[in-house]
Amino acid sequence: MDEVTAEPGTPLATVLTQLDDDQAQEVVTIPLAGKSSIADHMVIASGRSTRQVASMAQKLAEKLKKDGHGPVRLEGLPAADWVLIDGGDVVVHLFRPEVRSFYNLERMWAFGDAPPVASGTA
């Protein structure tokens, strides 16, 4: 997949910066413009535990709202195995590694361009 660059001040830039600050693992950005009407970008990342996934999701939602990219919707926060953050132009999926490899969204949404995800055992 091609490396996606985010223009400063965009929701995508906010997402990528916050995920980097929160030490998200295996961050993948999939451009959806022209391929889907749900968003311009999909970002998929992993956290090491349900606690980290929940924390990253909450911080990311707060940061998007604070930066004026709201309203933001969160789904899946109580269990925090897989949390979906709908930030309008950017949809973010945060997973625990074993849940991420099971669903393998990269392969589904990359339109054949993505390699399979590693199992997350490192």
Burial of 64 (0-12, 13-18, 19+ CB in 10 A): buried
More confident residue, 24 or 108: 24
Which CATH number is 11-102's, of 3.30.1950.10, 3.30.460.10, 3.20.20.70, 1.10.3860.10?
3.30.460.10
Q: For the whole model, what pTM was predicted?
A: 0.86
**Residue 29 has what DSSP assignment?**
E
How much is the mean pLDDT over the chain? Answer: 88
pLDDT of residue 121: 46
What are the Cα distances from residue 119, in Å, to 15, 27, 46, 102? Answer: 24, 14, 11, 8
Q: Is the pLDDT of residue 93 over 70?
A: yes
